[in-house]
Amino acid sequence: MTRVLSVASECVPLVKTGGLADVVGALPSALAECGVDMRTLLPGYPAVMAGVKGAKVVTDLGDLFGGPATLRRGALGDQVLYVLDAPHLYDRPGSIYLAPDGKDWPDNPERFAALSWAAAHIGTNGIEGWSPEVLHLHDWQAGLAPVYLREMGAADRVGTLLTIHNIAFQGLAPANRLDALRLPATSYNPGGFEYYGQISALKAGLVTADKISTVSPTYATELMTPEFGMGLDGVLRERQADLTGILNGIDLGAWSPPYKSPKGKAARTKALRKEIGLPPSDGPLCVVISRLTEQKGLDLLLNVLPTLLDAGAQLALLGSGDARLESGFRDAATRYSGVVVRIGYDEALAHDLIAGGDVILVPSRFEPCGLTQLYGLRFGTLPLVALTGGLADTVIPASPAGMAAGVATGFQFAPVTANCLRVALMRMCALWQNRKDWQKMMENAMAHPVGWDQSARTYAALYQTLKKVP
């Protein structure tokens, strides 16, 4: 039994802004079957505190970056959850990262340094008689933990794994906050956590953690290039021997289709059109569930939308983000009867779109892993994706070879341009007319493994290599 503390800034069902939360929520149960005793540490945001009412205090951390802090024990299903209760850092309105004005909280460096500090404290001292052998740290919000663990003198006893879910977010802070963040000045240099004159929490983890992982094999390779490495590609090339890509999975219980074969989808599609106000159609119903950003390639979709609609397809979109894209898709819904747009996020509607859609569009410019294409595969909602990151690793394209071998599960396009997306959409609409081939692809997609079994075994084996005390 390997003891692991998973440290993250969000986790379903308590708090979520993206796929990170789904992964953190799914890991403990998935890994339990592989002999891993994983407990999770989260910040005590209002939503988290409300979800663990009555959680008892198990450790007093004293003053932590400007106010009193304790660790409380709660539960995440049947798994142990520790919550960092520090009201001066987390008890506030707005999103977990952004103030009501839409800008980062000014004290975000301290808020997540505190999370890292608490993780290192648990690694060093244990908690309730339980001592983790490995700290599994997610993204920049937990990136300072290996530094603190070393400063506390426990780095030779506790292994550390940093997982990059999205390298675009790096946790930068001004250099004059070194002392405020309890960081050693000796490590503020290009070989440490200095990043172009600032402190980078993510870089701190990349150079200090024992091992690094990311959420797909292709993204691991992409990260070592200037195009995708966001200024940290050199650091990752230096640590190539310690970097691995492990695909995310999905919770098969939470994402379980209400039909067992492709034939069951037709009724769901008809019901979905009625539910969201789309007219009946013989063409494919394309769905998007996404943040509306250029990273996600939604500007490209907006550009080619008239071509898609002219080919007889429809579009149902659920998401929010860039104001210009929100406005563009709203305008499209006003102009075209075959477009429905819902700005915001609605978990129930997301499930309905996946269940009733024929195609799920994920035209991302980069995508570390992606989960929506995995949901699509599970439900026989064929993914049409860009050839990047985890999208490249999880979708078998309807190429001549893929179709001849009878193994295709979706569509891919590259490079990520509007014209290539247009060609892929036209290819998809043409194939839609061949119902026999389309149904075979749906069967392939629904049979494709998208759960955690293989990845959980890979993580468990990696944790074994990180154990330092026999």
Record the pTM.
0.94
Is 16 labelled a binding residue? Answer: yes
Residue 101: what pLDDT? 87
What is the rounded average pLDDT of the residues 397-401? 97
Residue 212: what pLDDT? 98
246 band by pLDDT with thresholds 50, 70 and 90: very high
Question: Is the bond preceding residue 415 a cis peptide, omega within 30 degrees?
Answer: yes
Residue 379: what pLDDT? 98
**For the chain, what is the mean pLDDT?**
96
Query: 337-364 pLDDT, tens per residue?
Result: 999 999 998 989 999 999 999 999 999 9
What is the rounded average pLDDT of the residues 408-418? 98
What fold characterizes domain 2-249+453-466?
A: Rossmann fold (3.40.50)
CATH of 262-447, one of 3.20.20.70, 3.40.50.450, 3.40.50.2000, 2.60.40.3500: 3.40.50.2000
DSSP, res 205: H
Residue 345: what pLDDT? 86
Same fold, 2-249+453-466 and 262-447: yes
- CB-based contact 369:219 (threshold 8 Å): yes
Q: For tokens 């599609």, what's the residue?
A: 269
Is residue 37 over pLDDT 80?
Answer: yes
Share above pLDDT 70 across residues of the chain, in percent, rounded to a whole number? 100
Burial class (CB in 10 A: 0-12, 13-18, 19+), 446: buried
Residue 441: what pLDDT? 98
Query: 48-103 pLDDT, tens per residue?
Result: 999 998 899 999 999 999 999 999 999 988 999 999 999 999 999 889 999 998 89
Instruction: State how far the alpha carbon of 211 is from the alpha carbons of 101, 155, 463, in Å.
Output: 37, 13, 10
Domain ranges of the chain: 2-249+453-466, 262-447
Secondary structure (DSSP) of 254-288: TS--S-SSGGGHHHHHHHHHHHHTPPP-SS-EEEE
Is residue 138 over pLDDT 90?
Answer: yes
What is the bridge-based pairing of β-strands 198-200 and 172-174? antiparallel
